[in-house]
Amino acid sequence: MTILGVFIFLIILMTAGIGIDLMRFERERALLQTTLDRAVLAAADLDQELSPKSVVQDYLDKAGFPDSLKSVQVKEGLGFRKVTAVAQYGFPTQFMHLSGVDSLTANTASTAEESVQAVEISLVLDISGSMGETARGSGRTKLSHLKTAAKEFVAQILKNSDQTDTSISIIPYASQVNVGEALLDKFTNVTQEHDYSHCVNFIPEQFSDSDLHRGDRLERAAHFDPFTYSEGVIDIPVCPVRDGSAITPLTNNISVLNKQIDALTAKGNTSIDIGMKWGVALLDPSMRDIVGDLSADGIVPAEFANRPVNYDEDVLKVVIVMTDGQNTDQYLLNPSLRSGLSDVWYNKTAGRYSVYHSQGKKNYYWPRPGRRGEWANHPYGDNEKGTAVRLTYPELFARASLAWNAEYNYRFLPNNWGRWYQAAFSKINWKAKDQRSKHVCRAAKRQGIIVYGIAFEAPASGFKLISDCASSPSHVYDVEGLDIEKAFTSIASSIKKLRLTQ
């Protein structure tokens, strides 16, 4: 019985020892697998500058597996990196060696891949006048910070992606959105009162949907300046025409995008709603035939001729809307002044105006800025140098701001400011524009578009609107100064797709 008891005890001891060895082995194998998983993830990072093999080896060394790495295979190209690593570790046994098993071998393998999937991006950027102000804690303007951040974003997205799968549109906005002549001409039902600028006034219902079709009726925004005293060429038209203000549609050309960003200038009011409408529309499949035409014209790269793709395809659609302010009132010219002949004549040679006003024999007022005008029986030019030409309303308001026209051309009227300034335009107030912004943001999110919002030193009301617009609280950035660059970097990183595939 003693011999039998000793034998049973040894069996129990050996069994317990085997269990202990196996538990310790499984713990070490799990640690090796976890370490290898983290190592290949780090090695597959497209921003990783060290060689994948050295990264994996470093992880294993620090985890206590210095001689375990057997192989590292790397496959990479434009926009992706795939790293596969194999590790083997011989674990010495403490009890099992008594039965002739000196070690247990853990074989582990792991694969990670980072890639940027097919992406369509709309950058909706604020270029209103306040963007020309100096950023907090900085000697640079807010627009200068935006330019740096936006160009870095473009580089991060396009340099580390398959450029045939990634398109970026830039939609600058201020009082309005300059669609650009080439893009706006592709729409077949735009009113044609003038061709001085290329903005449209959307009706409220158009903010409730993400689409915008070639044949949709679009009212061309009148070209006029309600902000300044300017003449010759109006200074701040509600529809911007300055360099850098036009939409850049779907491109993967870094030079083209950087040139657009560098050309941005700050001037005018703020219309987040209109910026968002165009940003979302340029991601909607309803624009595909128009984009196809732009591609045929050489404006959009050929590889994007069939974009925007359908929402249910394997594509990520993203809007990044940035503002430093809040919606402000939108100005609309009185419908009676949008087209037709005015009562103002202009003598280009002399640089003189005349205004017809029936009052008897002398029906033409000849204004003289800074001095009293005079009356005559003909427009300035019949008996003077040059010829007077009657201006259409679009011609008049492309030359003279509403304030200048009221103050000088119509000085003879006792109600000149009431008639030719206050009654010359109407407004869509900022509260209505906030609602329009929310409607188009909701329409975008219903389609699965991811909306990021950046409030750059914006007031509380502006931040709230951007927060309501964004896909979630984690998609909102409230920043100042240099932090705007960090915000764009964070967004670029989140757009990239990092996954453990095996």
- For the chain, the domains span 2-115, 119-188+233-332+428-497, 335-423
Q: Which residues contact 99 (CB under 8 A, 6 or more apart)?
A: 14, 18
Q: What is the pLDDT of residue 97?
A: 59
CA pair distance 212, 280, nearest whole angstrom: 9
**114 touches 83 (CB < 8 A):** no
**176 touches 218 (CB < 8 A):** no
Q: Which of 116-120, 196-200, 237-241, 297-301 has the lowest mean pLDDT?
A: 116-120
Confidence of residue 499 (pLDDT cuts 50, 70, 90): very low
Q: In what order do the strands lie in the sheet with 450-456?
A: 248-251, 166-173, 119-126, 316-323, 450-456, 476-479
SS3 annotation, 26-91: HHHHHHHHHHHHHHHHHHHCCCCCCCHHHHHHHHHHHCCCCCCEEEEEEEEECCEEEEEEEEEEEE
**260 touches 187 (CB < 8 A):** no
Q: What is the pLDDT of residue 101?
A: 63
Distances (CA, A) of 47 to 88, 212, 270: 28, 37, 36
Distances (CA, A) of 474 to 116, 273, 481: 20, 22, 20
Residue 11 has pLDDT above 80, yes or no: no
CATH number of 119-188+233-332+428-497: 3.40.50.410
**79 touches 157 (CB < 8 A):** no
Confidence of residue 90 (pLDDT cuts 50, 70, 90): confident
**216 touches 187 (CB < 8 A):** yes
Q: What is the pTM of this model?
A: 0.79
CA pair distance 249, 271, nearest whole angstrom: 19
Nearest to 128 by CA among 396, 325, 310, 283: 325
Instruction: Say how many residues make up the chain.
Output: 502
For 270-325, what is each residue's pLDDT tens digit?
A: 999 999 999 999 999 999 999 999 999 999 999 999 999 999 888 899 999 999 99
Q: DSSP string spanning 146-196?
A: HHHHHHHHHHHHHHTS-TTTEEEEEEEESSS-B--HHHHTT-SSB--S-SS
Residue 13 has pLDDT above 70, yes or no: no
CA pair distance 345, 348, nearest whole angstrom: 10
The β-bridge partners of 454 are 322, 477
For 138-164, what is each residue's pLDDT tens digit?
A: 889 999 999 999 999 999 998 855 567
The two structure tokens encoding residue 221: 């925004």
